[in-house]
């Protein structure tokens, strides 16, 4: 029969309530989204959601994170309907040193993001999930708009038809952005005929 010593049965880490980012004083807790230092100095920071925080006996804090991927990091690559601030919530979890956290950010649900009046540098959004092992994105179908039948990209200006309530890109209805901005109402070709 094996004899277990007390040192082997003690937990080496304990759960931490928060982590204070050095230099900013921002407090990070489980559930917060954070910007994490990229491996290359000129690359944008990685984005992750903190699942939990732990501290070891020496006071070092580590975080378990769930990664967000940028569309270009996924197998499908960046598509025309992906906005500049779009992220894919992945099933990729990891443990990292809390020292790699550069700051906090907010990853909004897509509908909430489209209602923001001012989008700040720390604002992102997510409408898809990405399975890193199967390279599948869900949902695999979403609503499309305009004659071009593309999903909505919140970075692109669109105009809504007062008749059918569909949305259109200025270029798809042969108008300029300036012309669209001057209109008080709009009816698409189908509704005006």
What is the dihedral sign for C-alpha 14, 18, 21, 25?
A: negative
Mean pLDDT (whole number) for 109-118: 94
Lowest mean pLDDT among 10-14, 41-45, 89-93, 183-187: 10-14
| 38 within domain boundaries | yes
Q: Which of 10-19, 57-66, 73-82 has the lowest mean pLDDT?
A: 10-19
Is 149 within the bounds of a domain?
no
pLDDT above 70 covers a percentage of the chain that reads 94
Whether the per-residue pLDDT at 133 is higher than 80: the answer is yes
As given in the structure block, the two tokens for residue 83 are 């906005």
Label residue 141 by pLDDT band (50, 70, 90). confident
Q: What is the pLDDT of residue 118?
A: 93
Is residue 182 located within the same domain as residue 99?
no
**Residue 61 domain-assigned?**
yes
Q: Give dist(CA 6, CA 30) in Å, integer.
A: 30
- Domain of 191, in residue numbers: 157-193
CATH number, residue 100: 2.30.30.490
Whether residue 6 is predicted with pLDDT greater than 60 in this model: the reply is no
Q: Is residue 126 domain-shared with residue 183, that is, in the same domain?
A: no
Position 1 pLDDT exceeds 50:
no
Mean pLDDT of 119-146: 93
SS (H, E, C) 66-111: EEEECHHHCCCCCCCCCCCCEEEEEEEEEEEEHHHEEEEEEEEEHH
The pLDDT value given to residue 140: 82
> Is residue 109 scored above 90 in pLDDT?
yes
Whether residue 99 lies inside any domain: the answer is yes
Instruction: Say if residue 163 is in the same domain as residue 136.
Output: no
pLDDT confidence band for 181 (50 / 70 / 90) = confident
Q: Residue 192: its pLDDT value, please?
A: 87
Instruction: Report the number of distinct structural domains present in the chain.
Output: 2
Q: What is the pLDDT of residue 11?
A: 58
Tokens 């939990």 label which residue?
52
Rounded alpha-carbon distances, angstroms, from residue 17 to 24, 62, 132: 18, 12, 29
- Give the CATH number for residue 165: 3.30.40.10
Do residues 94 and 26 share a domain? yes
Query: Is 50 exceeded by the pLDDT of residue 70?
Result: yes
- pTM of the complete model beyond 0.95: no
Are 87 and 53 contacting, i.e. CB atoms less than 8 angstroms apart? no
146, two tokens: 């305009």
Residue 79 lies in a domain: yes
* Same-domain status, 14 and 40: yes
């Amino acid at each position: 029969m094996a004899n277990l010593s007390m040192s082997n049965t003690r937990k080496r880490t304990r759960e931490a309530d928060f982590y204070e980012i050095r230099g900013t004083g921002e407090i990070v807790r489980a559930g917060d989204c954070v910007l994490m230092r990229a491996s290359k100095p000129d690359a944008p920071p990685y984005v992750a959601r903190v699942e939990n925080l732990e501290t070891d006996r020496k006071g070092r804090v580590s975080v378990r994170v769930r990664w967000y991927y940028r569309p270009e990091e996924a197998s499908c690559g960046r598509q025309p309907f992906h906005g500049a601030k779009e992220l894919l919530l992945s099933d990729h979890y990891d443990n990292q040193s809390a020292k790699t956290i550069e700051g906090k950010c907010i990853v909004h649900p897509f509908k909430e993001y489209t209602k923001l009046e001012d989008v700040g540098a720390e604002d992102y959004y997510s409408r898809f999930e990405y399975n890193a092992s199967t390279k599948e994105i869900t949902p695999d179908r979403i609503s499309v708009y305009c004659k071009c039948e593309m999903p909505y990209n919140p970075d692109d200006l669109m105009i809504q038809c007062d008749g059918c309530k569909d949305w259109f890109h200025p270029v798809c209805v042969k108008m300029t952005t300036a012309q669209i901005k001057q209109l008080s109402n709009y009816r698409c070709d189908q509704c005006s005929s």
